[in-house]
Amino acid sequence: MTITWHGRTREPSLRQIRYFLEVAKAGSYRRAAARIGVSQPTLTAQIAALEDILGCVLLERMKTGAVPTPLGRDLIGLAQTLVHEMDLFTQKARSGSLGVVGTHRLGVPPTLGPYLLPEVIGAVHEAYPDLQLYVREDGPRDLEAQLLEGHYDLILTQFPLTASDITTDILFDEPLILTASGDHPLSLLDQVTPEHLHGQKLLALEDRYRFFDQVQELAHRFHARLLREYEGTSLDTLRHMVGMNMGLGFLPALYVRSEITPRKDVQILPLSEVPAYRTIALAWRPSAPYRVLYRALASLIRSICREKLHADVHAYEPSSPSI
């Protein structure tokens, strides 16, 4: 409640509301003052100020003590709720000063999130049981823009970034795996060399994905023919076109591990050299108040990759402080 008095705005303080509840509970100004450790004149002055601000009488003073007025009795429940909610507010703010409680908004690209997060979420929850990650998928460039606009607290993204004012902590390098349909001529070879790729049809994702830029670069390097008329809208649609022998396809190793190895609907071609990696990082705004937590999360993800995904990705070695 806000009271305007002679042009000035006056509001009851939480301390005054606490004092009112103490007197109502103790039934006496003297006993309430002794319980909360203030002088009786101070307590009396604060209650009088509260009644003046509200424009009503909350406590009736008698020779035997003090009792709430009918209006005061009606307000006790609401006053208790206000005090309780403020206590919760203070407790949560203090316990969350390092960011290990509450909900943090994590943005992930659809070419990475579904294949990495199932491997790490359990360990993150075990390490930070009061931390919640609200996960949304978006394109890499949109992820960066929305991170800077405050829609995300942190993102998983692929290098290179288009924005310069973003803090990154590199997690791992992920190889790109060459795949083909089972009836493609190259599937008969024990090993595929770069020369075998000359003139081959190569499928890619739409150019809104950073993954497209890498595949385009590989097409130029190997003198392959990039099929722009049949771009995939997702890694799944790209895999389906590869399976129908519309062309070859480079696919990220974590996707291959998750979707191709169990199904074997397309064939992995053993290249004589690993042609390319994509570098994955956790990123956040330099001004983020929980950047210590985010570096600890990056360190945890690297540890998980070294332990569980070492056959598929190459985790970076830098370690970050834990909290």
Half-sphere exposure of 71 (CA within 13 A, CB side): 8
| pLDDT computed for residue 157 by the predictor | 94
Looking up residue 20, the CATH number of its domain turns out to be 1.10.10.10
Residues 282, 171 contacting (CB under 8 angstroms): yes
pLDDT by residue (tens digit) across 119-130?
A: 999 999 999 888
Give the C-alpha separation, 191 to 35, whole Å. Answer: 84
- Going by pLDDT thresholds of 50, 70 and 90, the confidence category of residue 322 is very low
Tell me: do 162 and 183 sit in the same domain: no
Mean local confidence (pLDDT), 179-198: 93
* Count: domains in the chain: 3
Show the CA angle centred on residue 99, arms to residues 83 and 85, nearest 5°: 10
Percent of the chain with pLDDT over 90: 71
Per-residue buried b or exposed e for 196-205, using 16+ beta carbons within 10 Å of the residue's own CB: bbeebbbbbb
Q: Is residue 299 part of a domain?
A: yes
Residues 6+ apart with CB under 8 A from 102: 92, 96, 130, 131, 132
Residues 209 and 166 reside in one and the same domain: no
At 5, the pLDDT band (50, 70, 90 cuts) reads very low
Instruction: Output the pLDDT for position 94.
Output: 62
Q: Is the peptide bond before 114 cis (omega within 30 degrees of 0)?
A: no
Res 179: pLDDT: 95
The average confidence (pLDDT) of the chain is 89
Which residue range is the domain that position 124 belongs to?
A: 102-172+279-315
Looking at residue 320, its pLDDT comes to: 45
Do 38 and 77 sit in the same domain of this protein?
yes
Give the C-alpha distances (Å, rounded to integers) separating 291 from 149, 287, 295.
17, 8, 6
**What was the pLDDT predicted at 98?**
56
Lowest mean pLDDT, pick from 22-26, 34-38, 87-91, 251-255: 87-91
- 249 and 179 Cβ atoms separated by less than 8 Å: yes
Residue 320 lies in a domain: no
- What pTM was computed for the model? 0.71
Q: Are residues 211 and 306 in the same domain?
A: no
Tell me the mean pLDDT in the region 30-53. Answer: 92
Is residue 131, in this structure, part of any structural domain at all? yes
- At residue 26 the predicted structure's pLDDT band, cuts being 50, 70 and 90, is very high
Query: Do 192 and 246 belong to one domain?
Result: yes
What separation in angstroms does the CA of 303 have from each of 127, 169, 306, 309, 310?
12, 13, 5, 10, 10
Q: Are residues 45 and 135 located together in one domain of the fold?
A: no
**What's the average model confidence in pLDDT over 192-214?**
92
Distance CA 159, CA 283 (A): 11
Boundary (domain end) residue, out of 65, 95, 125: 95
* Assigned domain for 30 exists: yes
Q: Answer whether residue 138 shows pLDDT above 50.
A: yes
Structure tokens belonging to residue 284: 């956040």
> Tokens representing 279?
């570098």
- Whether 8 and 45 map to the same domain: the answer is yes
Q: Which is more confident, 21 or 64?
A: 21
Q: Judge whether residue 188 has pLDDT over 50.
A: yes
Asked whether the predicted pLDDT for residue 211 surpasses 50, the reply is yes
* 15, part of any domain: yes
Classify residue 62: in a domain, yes or no. yes
Average pLDDT over residues 29-53: 92
SS3 152: coil
Asked if residue 321 is part of any domain, the answer here is no
DSSP 3-state assignment of 131? strand
Q: What was the pLDDT predicted at 102?
A: 80
Terminal-to-terminal C-alpha distance of the chain: 41
Query: What would the mean pLDDT of 276-285 be, rounded to a whole number?
Result: 94
Last residue of a domain, one of 95, 114, 146: 95
- Residues 285, 165 share a domain: yes
Of the three residues 95, 117, 142, the one that is the final residue of a domain is 95
Residue 162 and residue 179 share a domain: no
* Gap between the Cα atoms of 219 and 255, Å rounded: 20
37 and 186 fall within a common domain: no
**Does residue 323 fall inside a structural domain?**
no
Q: What span, in angstroms and rounded, lies between the C-alpha atoms of 171 and 314?
A: 9
CATH number of the domain to which 246 belongs: 3.40.190.10
* Spatial contact of 171 and 280, defined as CB atoms under 8 Å apart: yes
Q: Are residues 108 and 131 in the same domain?
A: yes
Spell out the long-range contacts of 49-55 with Cβ–Cβ below 8 A and sequence spacing 24 or more. 49/16, 50/12, 50/16, 50/17, 50/19, 50/20, 53/1, 53/3, 53/5, 53/10, 53/11, 53/12, 53/16, 54/1, 54/3, 54/12, 55/3
8: β partners: 5
260 has pLDDT over 60: yes
> Is there a contact between 242 and 249 (Cβ–Cβ < 8 Å)?
yes
Can you tell me whether residue 100 is helix, strand or coil?
coil
Q: What would the mean pLDDT of 218-243 be, rounded to a whole number?
A: 93
Asked if residue 260 and residue 186 are part of one domain, the reply reads: yes
Percent of the chain with pLDDT over 70: 92
